[in-house]
């Protein structure tokens, strides 16, 4: 089997272990594992394997009277909060047989329990099996605990996400300050590039080691020896962890295949992550349609058009929503891949073509129309299927994707998307013409002129910019500010003055909100405007600006990729240069140049010897483009626009290297403020 085929098979293979145990069981699964299952075939897989029921992993759930067997699937460490929930569920049930799967390997459970020795067997899992029997009320009942790396979600052949790590995000200056506060003055780190894994919190160490372990399991399955490279401090830690992974050494000795893996920190370029690119259909779908509950990536598609029901308050929520994950139909899978990487015009034309083709196959009375594709036209094609149950079932994947496209194209929030795009273009030009303080001043009228409202995300309508939108625009500016507006001490004072004005204006705006968006609730720590005091709002916004200043300096350590901004030179306007494009062009440069910013991470004595010899003789360092397969791993998320960019750069360079993308999440602009301002990056939730 080719490594690329192996990568596609691997996520499904990891579920086989779980499927072998679910017969006649009620299955309890946490959100992260559910999302992985969702992209691997969904609940149907479990039911086909004989599961009786699937329930949320929650203390408020339990098995029925006649359900003696339970299977738990969790992405967390089996202690603390996770153990409490399992105990609660068992206590409310009558189980005689419990199987627990965790995505965290036993070696990392030892670390979580402060055991440094390399012990025989799986003592932590064995102890937990005894606890399960105790909670079931009979030590003769059966309990099994095992590791299953069910963390991969294959969105397409060339893109795999890891939902279990969706909140793993590279560290910033504010995090470095927190790390240094706990260290003696003489041992404080000068920059994030100096930070080592051992100086991080136990929670973050566990997350990084679990991610390295999951990637190692994939490489084991596809029989591949990897050369690891990193761009950025967090990527350096993950690549280093993978290079020194204990089980990786044996694998590398016998692996028949070779691949390069390049880890890149998302924080090195947040401009692309928050940008409202006008030409990507999936970015708009992800931003304007409501998310599936408990999911990070997929959205709810309203299925009303496939029925004869009229939209009323009474029937709201009675239809199960559709979604973007269509694993069953080859046509739907191809359509989803096209929608994800094609330009919007091509994507909507492909949606129309597939709907027309499906209708023709079923002999439905379709009226062909050429020219521009509209939401109404797509809906009229979809509605042809509602009177034919067989046709609807055969083409349900394509119909759901067609409805998602139509609902995004006619969504009342699209004017806000266009407004954000227009402001970003103005700010991009302004950054070259004036200093940062002047650019920030241009945001003041936007804050003051907008009507008090909910401060919500896109899923609400109106062209007005919300507080959430304004935070996104601030990230856009600060991510480019360092190279666009380099200034001295005088400039910094001026910037600080304008920042204080912005904090004041935003505080006033926040305290006038009639309701708070989820992001604003997370940032301020309150659930409603009635609880929000001026002091609390002001303090929360001060923290926001402290984080933004760190975003400003995220590329300071880079020599080659220190800028994502090209200023105007008269005839040409200022432009944004995606960091990802720069990295790929450097990797595939025909001269195979050494790039100091793409750091090779090696493990083992041989590599140390090579380094030693290189002092006396010329030793060629590995280069990411040397090998036929390249994994690009974006730590902190990737956008659909970047997926297209990767495809274009690879095809332009005709290098013969196949590129597969992996990431912690598929980003929408509104995700970035959540990851920056309301996520505890140093202490991720590991279920303890």
Give the number of other CB atoms < 10 A from CB of residue 80.
Answer: 13
Phi and psi at 544, nearest 5°, equal -60, -45
CA distances from 683 to 55, 76, 168, 337 (A): 28, 14, 10, 35
Considering the domain architecture, whether residues 72 and 112 belong to the same structural domain is answered as: yes
Residue identified by tokens 């290189």 is 614
Closest of 216, 94, 217 to residue 148, by C-alpha: 217
585-600: pLDDT as tens digits: 998 888 777 888 888 8
CA dist., res. 71 & res. 63, Å (int): 11
Pick from 228, 236, 309: which is nearest to 624 by CA? 228
pLDDT at residue number 305: 87
Question: In the predicted model, what is the mean pLDDT of residues 162-180?
Answer: 92
| Same-domain check for residues 127 and 155 | no
What's the start-to-end Cα distance of the chain, in Å? 39
| Residue 243: HSE in the Cβ half-sphere, 13 Å Cα cutoff | 24
CA 285 to mean position of chain CA atoms: 16
User: Looking at 97, 114, 148, which one is the last position of a domain?
Assistant: 148
Report if residue 317 sits inside a domain. yes
Give the residue among 103, 43, 6 at the shortest CA–CA distance from 325.
43
What is the reported pLDDT for 611? 47
What percent of the chain has a predicted confidence (pLDDT) above 90? 49
Residues 177 and 189 in one domain: yes
Calpha distance 408→199 (Å, rounded): 45
Q: Which helix (H) or strand (E) holds 232?
A: none
What does the pLDDT average to over 304-310? 84
Q: Which of 79, 113, 148 is the last residue of a domain?
A: 148
Where residue 461 falls among pLDDT bands split at 50, 70, 90? very low
Residues of 537-565 as b/e, b for ≥16 C-beta within 10 angstroms? bbebbeebbebbbbbbebbeebeebebbb
How high does pLDDT run on average in the chain?
87
Give the pLDDT score at 148. 95
Q: Answer for the pair 304, 285: CB distance below 8 angstroms, yes or no.
A: no
Would you say 37 and 29 are in contact if contact means Cβ atoms under 8 Å apart?
yes
CATH of the domain at 184: 3.40.50.1910
What's phi and psi for 133, nearest 5 deg?
A: -65, -40
* pLDDT value of position 603: 55
**Residue written as token pair 């039911």:** 47
Are 543 and 584 part of one and the same domain?
Answer: no
Does residue 455 form part of some domain? no
Residue 608: per-residue pLDDT: 45
Query: What angle in degrees, to the nearest 10, is found between the helix axes of 202-221 and 3-19?
Result: 110
Q: What angle do CA 515, 521, 524 make, to 5 degrees?
A: 115
pLDDT per position as a tens digit, 258-279? 999 999 999 999 999 999 887 8
Q: Cβ(510)–Cβ(520) under 8 Å?
A: yes
d(Cα 19, Cα 540) in Å, to the nearest integer?
A: 46
Residue 459 has pLDDT above 50, yes or no: no
Strand pairing class (575-576; 565-566): antiparallel
Report if residue 276 sits inside a domain.
Answer: no
378: closest CA among 357, 351, 398?
A: 351
CATH code of 46's domain: 3.40.50.2060
Q: Determine contact, residues 548/474, Cβ cutoff 8 Å.
A: yes
Q: How are beta strands 629-635 and 257-265 bridged, if at all?
A: parallel
- Judge whether 608 lies within some domain: yes
Range of the domain at 101: 3-148
Q: E strands along 141-280, which residues?
A: 142-147, 153-156, 159-161, 224-231, 257-265
Residue 190 CA: distances (Å) to CA of 184, 186, 561, 600: 13, 11, 20, 22
Q: Which residues pair with 54 in a beta bridge?
A: 27
Element (H, E) at 70: strand 69-74
Is residue 587 located within the same domain as residue 681? yes
Identify the CA nearest to 238 among candidates 187, 159, 170, 188: 170
Residue whose C-alpha is closest to residue 97's, from 51, 140, 60: 140
User: Are residues 172 and 233 both part of a single domain?
Assistant: yes
Together in a domain, 304 and 366: yes
Domain count, the chain: 4
Which structure tokens are listed for 93? 């049930």
**Interatomic CA distance for residues 449 and 452, integer angstroms:** 9
Domain end call among 148, 176, 204:
148
Quick check: 403 and 382 in contact, CB under 8 A? yes
Q: In the prediction, which pLDDT does 616 show?
A: 52
Query: Does residue 324 carry a pLDDT above 90?
Result: yes
Residue 28, beta-bridge partner list: 55, 72
Give me the residue label for tokens 């790390």: 179
Note whether residue 572 is domain-resident.
no
Query: What is the rounded CA–CA span in Å between residue 344 and residue 245?
Result: 42
- Is residue 174, in this structure, part of any structural domain at all? yes
Distance from C-alpha of 324 to C-alpha of 397, rounded to nearest angstrom: 8
Q: For residues 238 and 6, which has the higher predicted lDDT (pLDDT)? A: 238
Evaluate whether 583 touches 231 at the Cβ level (below 8 Å): yes
Q: What is the pLDDT of residue 318?
A: 81
Domain match, 591 and 642 both: yes
Least confidently predicted of 215-224, 321-330, 360-369, 546-555: 360-369
- Distance in angstroms (rounded) separating the CA atoms of residues 303 and 399: 9
Phi, psi at residue 634, to the nearest 5°? Answer: -95, 110
Q: For residues 485 and 537, state if they share a domain.
A: yes
Residue 544 lies in a domain: yes
Same domain, 18 and 117: yes
| CA–CA separation, 560 and 555 (whole Å) | 10
Q: Are 305 and 406 within one domain?
A: yes
Say if residue 404 is in the same domain as residue 421: no
User: Is residue 402, in this structure, part of any structural domain at all?
Assistant: yes
Band (pLDDT 50/70/90 cuts) for residue 6 is confident
Strands 159-161 and 153-156: antiparallel
Residue 617 has pLDDT above 60, yes or no: no
d(CA 332, CA 336): 6
**Residue 235: half-sphere exposure toward Cβ, Cα within 13 Å:** 27
Higher pLDDT, 638 or 449: 638
Q: Is the pLDDT of residue 605 over 50?
A: no
């Amino acid at each position: 089997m080719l490594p690329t085929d192996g990568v596609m098979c691997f996520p499904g293979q990891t579920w086989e272990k779980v499927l072998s145990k679910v017969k006649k069981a009620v299955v309890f699964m946490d959100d992260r594992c559910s999302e992985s299952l969702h992209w691997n075939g969904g609940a149907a897989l479990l039911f086909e394997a004989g599961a009786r029921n699937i329930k949320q992993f929650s203390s408020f759930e339990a098995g029925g009277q006649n359900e003696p067997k339970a299977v738990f699937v969790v992405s967390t460490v089996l202690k603390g909060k996770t153990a409490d929930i399992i105990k609660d569920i068992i206590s409310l049930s009558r189980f005689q047989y419990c199987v627990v799967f965790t995505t965290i390997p036993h070696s990392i459970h030892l670390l979580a329990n402060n055991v440094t020795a390399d012990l025989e067997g799986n003592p932590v899992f064995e102890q937990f099996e005894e606890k399960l029997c105790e909670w079931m009320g009979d030590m003769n009942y059966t309990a099994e605990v095992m590791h299953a790396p069910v963390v991969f979600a294959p969105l397409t052949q060339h893109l795999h996400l890891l939902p279990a790590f969706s909140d793993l995000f590279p560290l910033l200056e504010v995090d470095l300050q927190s790390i240094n506060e706990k260290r003696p003055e003489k041992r404080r780190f000068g920059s994030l590039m100096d930070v080592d894994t051992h100086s991080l919190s136990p929670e973050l160490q566990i997350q990084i080691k679990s991610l390295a372990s999951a990637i190692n399991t994939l490489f084991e399955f596809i029989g591949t020896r990897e050369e690891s490279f990193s761009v950025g401090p967090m990527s350096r830690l993950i690549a280093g962890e993978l290079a020194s992974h204990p089980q990786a050494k044996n694998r590398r000795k016998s692996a028949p295949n070779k691949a390069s893996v390049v880890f890149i920190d998302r924080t090195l370029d947040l401009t692309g992550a928050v940008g409202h690119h006008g030409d990507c259909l999936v970015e708009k779908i992800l931003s304007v349609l409501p998310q599936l509950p408990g999911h990070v990536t997929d959205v709810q598609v309203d299925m009303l058009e496939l029925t004869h029901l009229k939209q009323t308050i009474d029937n709201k929520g009675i239809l199960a929503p559709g979604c973007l994950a269509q694993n069953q139909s080859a046509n739907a899978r191809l359509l989803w891949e096209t929608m994800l990487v094609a330009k919007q015009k091509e994507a909507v034309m492909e949606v129309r073509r597939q709907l027309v083709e499906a209708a023709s196959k079923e002999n439905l009375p379709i009226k062909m129309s050429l020219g521009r594709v509209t939401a109404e036209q797509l809906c009229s094609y979809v509605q042809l299927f509602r009177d034919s149950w067989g046709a609807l079932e055969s083409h349900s994947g394509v119909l759901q994707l067609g409805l998602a496209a139509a609902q995004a194209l006619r969504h009342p929030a699209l004017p806000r998307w266009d407004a954000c795009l227009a402001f970003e273009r103005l700010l991009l030009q302004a950054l070259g013409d004036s200093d940062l303080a002047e650019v920030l001043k241009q945001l003041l009228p936007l804050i003051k002129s907008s009507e008090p409202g909910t401060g919500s995300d896109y899923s609400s309508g109106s062209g007005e910019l919300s507080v959430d939108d304004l935070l996104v625009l601030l990230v856009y500016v600060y991510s480019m500010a360092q190279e666009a507006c380099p200034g001295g001490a005088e400039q910094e004072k001026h910037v600080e003055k304008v920042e204080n004005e912005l904090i004041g204006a935003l505080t006033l705006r926040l305290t006038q909100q009639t309701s708070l968006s989820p992001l604003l609730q997370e940032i301020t720590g309150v659930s409603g405007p009635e609880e929000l005091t001026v002091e609390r709002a002001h303090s929360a916004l001060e923290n926001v600006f402290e984080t933004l200043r760190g975003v400003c300096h995220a590329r300071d350590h880079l020599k080659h990729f220190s800028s994502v901004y090209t200023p105007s030179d008269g005839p040409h306007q200022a432009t944004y240069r995606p960091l990802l494009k720069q990295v790929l062009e450097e990797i595939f440069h025909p001269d195979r140049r050494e790039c100091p910013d793409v750091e090779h991470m090696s493990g083992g004595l041989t590599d140390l010897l090579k380094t030693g010899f290189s002092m006396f003789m010329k030793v060629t360092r590995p280069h990411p483009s040397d090998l036929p397969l390249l994994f690009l791993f974006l730590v902190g998320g990737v956008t659909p626009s970047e997926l297209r960019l990767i495809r274009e750069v690879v095809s332009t360079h005709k290098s013969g290297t196949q590129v597969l993308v992996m990431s912690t999440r598929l980003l929408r602009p509104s995700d970035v403020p959540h990851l920056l301002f309301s996520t505890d990056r140093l202490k991720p939730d590991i279920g303890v």
